């Protein structure tokens, strides 16, 4: 479906509480099995009242190679293979104090349009 999907570059970073950003993965929306048009069609065919301005979530965006897997579950093989971070620690899953950042952009003919970034810090349970 790559040729019918959006060419959106995606990156995910993990930053430990006292560390620096670690690139976890680089993927692309074109790897999605279903295009956004197909996902929208599926929603509306079952009576979901989608209107202008509604946001759609595609789910995990994983590529074909290990460096493009879209989740820590995939990147660590269900937590069996810890991921080494630049500060010498490792992760199989996120931990309290970690910050996860997602970035996306489109690029064509050396022109880049960024979508900004979305970051969230994992807080301990109360």
Strand order in the sheet with 99-108: 22-28, 9-15, 99-108, 111-121
Query: Domain residue spans in the chain?
Result: 2-47+59-121
The per-residue pLDDT for range 30-87, each reduced to its tens digit, is: 999 888 889 999 989 989 999 999 988 888 999 999 999 999 999 999 999 999 999 9
- pLDDT(4) > 90: no
Q: What is the mean pLDDT of residues 15-35?
A: 94
- Choose which CATH entry (2.40.30.10, 3.40.630.30, 3.90.850.10, 3.90.400.10) describes domain 2-47+59-121: 3.90.850.10
- pLDDT(2) > 70: no
What DSSP line would sit under 76-96, residue for residue? TTTTTSPEE-TTS-EESS--T
- pLDDT(8) > 70: yes
- SS3 label, residue 7: coil
Give me the pLDDT at residue 59, please: 87
């Amino acid at each position: 479906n790559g040729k019918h999907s959006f060419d959106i570059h995606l990156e995910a970073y993990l930053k430990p509480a006292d560390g620096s950003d670690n690139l976890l993965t680089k993927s692309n929306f074109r790897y999605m099995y279903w295009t956004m048009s197909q996902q929208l069609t599926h929603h509306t065919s079952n009576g979901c009242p989608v209107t202008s301005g509604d946001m759609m979530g595609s789910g995990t965006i994983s590529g074909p190679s290990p460096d493009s897997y879209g989740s820590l579950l995939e990147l660590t093989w269900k937590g069996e293979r810890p991921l080494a971070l630049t500060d010498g620690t490792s992760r199989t899953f996120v931990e309290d104090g970690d910050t996860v950042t997602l970035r996306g952009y489109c690029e064509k003919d050396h022109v880049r349009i960024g979508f900004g970034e979305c970051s969230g810090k994992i807080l301990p349970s109360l």
